[in-house]
Amino acid sequence: MISHSIFAIFLALISSAISETNDDILVFTVASEPTDGFQRYLSSAHHYHIAPTVLGFGQEWKGGSDIKNRPGGGWKINLLKTALEPHKDDPTKIILFTDGYDVIFTDTLDAILRKFKETKARVLFGAESSCWPDVQLAPKYPQVTEGKRFLNSGLYMGYAPDLWQVLTFDVIEDTDDDQLFFTKAYLDEDLRKKVGFKLDHKSEIFQNLNGAVSEVELFEVKAKEGPEEYKIQNVLYHTVPLILHGNGPSKLSLNYLGNYLANSWNSVEGCVRCKEGQFDLKNKRANEMSLVLLAIFVEFNTPFLEEMLSKVYSQEYPKHRIDLFIHNAMKFHSKHITDFIEKHGSEYRSVKDIKPDDGTTEWAARDLSLAQCLSKNCDIYFSVDSVAHLDNPHTLRLLIEQNRTVVAPLLPRPGKAWSNFWGDLTKEGFYARSNDYMDIVHNDKRGLWNVPFIANCYAINATLLKKFDETKLNFDRDNWDADMAFCANLRDLDVFMYVSNRVDFGHLVNPETFDITRVEPEMYQIFDNEQDWEARFIHPEYPENFNPEKTSLQPCPDVYWFPIVSPRFCTSLINMMENFGKWSDGSNKDPRLEGGYEAVPTRDIHMNQVGWEKHWLEFLRKYVRPLQEHVFLGYFHDPPRSLMNFVVRYKPDEQPSLRPHHDSSTYTINIALNQRGVDYEGGGCRFIRYNCSVVDTKLGWLLIHPGRLTHYHEGLKVTKGIRYIMIAFVDP
Ligand SMILES: *[C@@H]1O[C@H](CO)[C@@H](O)[C@H](O)[C@H]1NC(C)=O
Ligand SMILES: *[C@@H]1O[C@H](CO)[C@@H](O)[C@H](O)[C@H]1NC(C)=O
Ligand SMILES: *[C@@H]1O[C@H](CO)[C@@H](O)[C@H](O)[C@H]1NC(C)=O
């Protein structure tokens, strides 16, 4: 007898030791397919060394056809019953059940077990603030003084024999509602008392997010060594829940929190979770690369479309593995598209080009592109809108290697809060800003972020297109924008949309002020698309002007010479002027001036006559002023003032030269807009005091010299062709 009881104590010691090391806690979940949410669940489990037994995997879901909106889920109970049968009499076994698609572990089983034992419950369910699916049952619930009153069946645990009693207190059909079943068990006072059935009212372990989103916050657990770890706290009950369930409409919050929890991200290693599933295409042979359907959408007039197309072309990916699909709705851009296809189309595997005349709507075109992807047997669908500039030539490859169902490169408007993703949504489905939105847009945090809305550029693994046909996955929904419709459909299908800023991918142009009634409309974009304006119109060697290793060119005393604008700028400006065409008549009478009189008249057009005055002043401020300060030290004037800004035309049979004169300026700038020996003969500028001429002017280069006293000068005779220069008298 004695030895037997000693043995029993010994066993109990062992079993308590075992339970401390988790051997006696069994974790179950139900998931029929590996959705993005289920992968996240497994990742979080893995991080905390939890190995759930997955029930129903690979089977057809039997728990009701519309589990999101209608009751169902009885199947989960029946699956669990079968799995528990062998353990039902084992009082040492603790069973933890969690839903699979919308759950994240935020701590270890040890922590869960410790908390569970503190509750003194034999069976413990999570709680929530609403009574579902049968609100009539609400009054039957015991009152609670603090905490959530109603049962939620997404998260629960208990000792095997006690839980078994609950699971078997009645029979349940697969399509019956599991939460209703457990609610009835809980409301059965005898059963509740008998098995020690409690609810986790204050989220000591189980946090159901629905109705509690504002109670739940991330917090950082600082480690002594190594990176911080993110956990959640319930700020209403001052608890630190250990398992998080994004039930009902709280999935977006779950996705947001999931970007951080279970060490998905930390400030030291950055994006930890994004390395999961990622692969490397570097050593893959060109012929084995995934087939890509690259869809380009030009749905409105867009500045710098030529550059956008050339960046698409520059993507380092074998073009014979890319099928092109282009929808252009804008006649203005027909030439750009045609040029692109003529030049490069034949390098691609195929080209489908839908023109403005077809009258295809954006919605239809986008739907068509998905169909085109399938008909070309694509592996990857890659969509790029006209505003999306993929400055990084590896964008496509990096997105494919990231291996997510849907992933977008982060593309911000430079220097602005605007980008191609939303961090959160309003209830109505519109833009809302998440707490971390600015950190992500400004790259203060880099990573791979699960977000509710992406647009303008994204890659989709085509298995998704095969899984959901065009009735489910399309761009149409209640007259919404195509993007909003598409993302709403993806959300409904529980497909995660990721946006990556692991590296810089590119930027968005701003089309809002693009005015195609202008000649050379991009020239007017110096304010709204500075970066693109600069790339197209500023001389590539401009930054070298400030290289301290270099001395500035000085062709004549105190006359400096700098590369400043690109050849494209020069032709654009000439084109603007010639299109306007109202050159002054070269007489002294000039109604454009305040006094109506010009002592040294030229044939010219003023910037304000082509609506380009404020743009020009911005150009002076941003690009000319620093050069002036660089060579004429100690003179600061910000912004530079300039009333006289114009393009001059020298032409043998019109006005070939200009007599010696002073300028009414502190300094004058003079930009050569075309080339001697190519466009004209003769010409140049002679500084009389020094008997020094600059004749071999260079395209897009600027001469800068003092205006008065020392630099009396003349315009030398053009003998053939037409010479154009751009002049400004700065700080008169
Ligand atoms: C992509 O990730 C999935 C898991 O999500 C994995 O099964 C698959 O092998 C990965 N693809 C490649 C090419 O590595
Ligand atoms: C697409 O997804 C499937 C399933 O996760 C995966 O096996 C495959 O490797 C992915 N394809 C590409 C090209 O990433
Ligand atoms: C000015 O320079 C030119 C050539 O550089 C020379 O032929 C001419 O004699 C010079 N004139 C004076 C006044 O020095």
Tens digits of residue pLDDT in 445-455: 999 999 999 99
d(CA 365, CA 368): 5
Q: Check if the beta carbon of residue 307 is closer than 8 Å to that of residue 532.
A: yes
Distance, in Å, from the CA atom of 151 to the CA atom of 134, rounded to the nearest integer, reads 11
- Residue with more model confidence, 642 or 185: 185
Give the C-alpha separation, 573 to 699, whole Å: 13
CA-nearest residue for atom 13, ligand 1, is 279
Cβ(674) – ligand 2 distance below 6 Å: no
Angle ∠(417,419,423) on CA atoms, nearest 5: 85
- Cα 712 to middle of ligand 3, angstroms: 16
Cα 147 to Cα 142, 192, 235: the distances in Å are 12, 19, 12
Neighbouring residues of 576: CB distance < 8 A, sequence distance ≥ 6: 519, 520, 523, 610, 612
Predicted local confidence at residue 22, as pLDDT: 58
pLDDT for residue 428: 85
Q: Give per-residue pLDDT as tens, 106-164.
A: 999 999 999 999 999 999 999 999 999 999 999 999 999 999 999 999 999 999 999 99
CB 666 within 8 A of CB 731: yes
Determine what percent of the chain is predicted with pLDDT higher than 90: 79
Of 221, 216, 219, residue with least CA distance to 245 = 216
pLDDT digits (tens, 9 = 90+) for 259-271: 999 999 999 999 9
Banded model confidence at residue 599, pLDDT cuts 50, 70, 90: confident
Is the CB of 276 within 6 Å of ligand 1?
A: no
Measured by CA distance, the residue closest to atom 1 of ligand 1 is 277
Task: Report whether pLDDT(9) > 70.
Answer: no
Per-residue pLDDT of 538-592, as tens digits, reads 999 999 999 999 988 999 988 999 999 999 999 999 999 999 999 988 888 888 8
Residue whose tokens read 């291996």 = 403
Evaluate whether 286-508 and 521-730 have a shared fold: no
Joined together, the tokens standing for residue 231 give 């956990």
Candidate of 276, 403, 463 to mutate for ligand 1, largest count of ligand atoms within 8 Å of Cβ: 403
Angle at 189 between CA 186 and CA 190, to 5 degrees: 115
- 3-state DSSP of 170-181: CCCCCCCEHHHH
403 lines ligand 1 (CB under 6 A): yes
pLDDT value of residue 23: 63
Contact 496, 271 (CB under 8 A): no
- The pTM assigned to this predicted structure is 0.92
The top-scoring range by mean pLDDT among 218-222, 386-390, 649-653, 658-662 is 386-390
464 CA to middle of ligand 2, Å?
A: 9
Q: How far apart are CA 483 and CA 489, in angstroms?
A: 10
Amino acid at 31: A
Residue 563 exposure: Cα atoms within 13 Å on the Cβ side: 13
* Structure-token pair, residue 40: 């996240």
Task: Give the per-residue pLDDT at 667.
Answer: 86
Q: Does domain 286-508 have CATH number 3.40.1400.10?
A: no
Per-residue confidence band for 13, with pLDDT thresholds at 50, 70 and 90: very low
* Domain residue extents for the chain: 2-202, 286-508, 521-730
The CATH architecture that domain 2-202 belongs to is Alpha-Beta Complex (3.90)
Q: Could you identify the residue written with the tokens 């494209």?
A: 568
| Section 162-187 average pLDDT | 96
Side-chain-side CA neighbours of 707 within 13 Å: the count stands at: 17
pLDDT value, residue 65: 77
- Determine which residue's CA is closest to atom 3 belonging to ligand 2: 463
Smallest-distance ligand from the CA of 687? 3
DSSP H or E stretch at residue 676? none
- State both tokens at 104: 């994240």
Q: Are 449 and 502 in contact (CB under 8 A)?
A: no
Question: Which atom of ligand 1 is closest in space to residue 403's alpha carbon?
Answer: 1
| Rounded distance from Cα 653 to ligand 2 centre (Å) | 70
Ligand nearest to the CA of 463: 2
Residue 222 has pLDDT above 70, yes or no: yes
- Pocket lining: 279 vs ligand 1, CB cutoff 6 Å: yes
| pLDDT over threshold 80, residue 229 | yes
Phi-psi region of 226 (alpha: psi -120 to 50; beta: other; left: phi over 0): left
pLDDT at 424 over 90: yes
> Is residue 278 in contact with ligand 2, taking CB distance under 6 Å?
no
Spacing, Cα 407 to ligand 2 middle (Å): 13
Predicted confidence at residue 84, as pLDDT, reads 97
Q: Which atom of ligand 2 is nearest to the CA of 380?
A: 13
Percent of the chain whose pLDDT exceeds 70: 97
For residues 696-709, one letter each, b for 16 or more C-beta atoms within 10 angstroms of the residue's C-beta and e for the rest, the string is ebbbbbbbbbbbee
Asked whether 463 lines ligand 2 (CB < 6 A), one says yes
Per-residue pLDDT tens over the stretch 278-334: 999 988 999 999 999 999 999 999 999 999 999 999 999 999 999 999 999 999 999
For range 60-79, the mean pLDDT: 85
Per DSSP, the three-state class of 360 is coil
In sequence order, the 6+-apart residues with CB closer than 8 A to the CB of 351 are 323, 324, 326, 341, 345
Segment among 30-39, 297-306, 450-459, 594-603 with least mean pLDDT: 594-603
CATH for the stretch 521-730: 2.60.120.620
Sign of the Cα pseudo-torsion (479, 483, 485, 486, in order): positive
Longest dimension (CA), the chain: 129
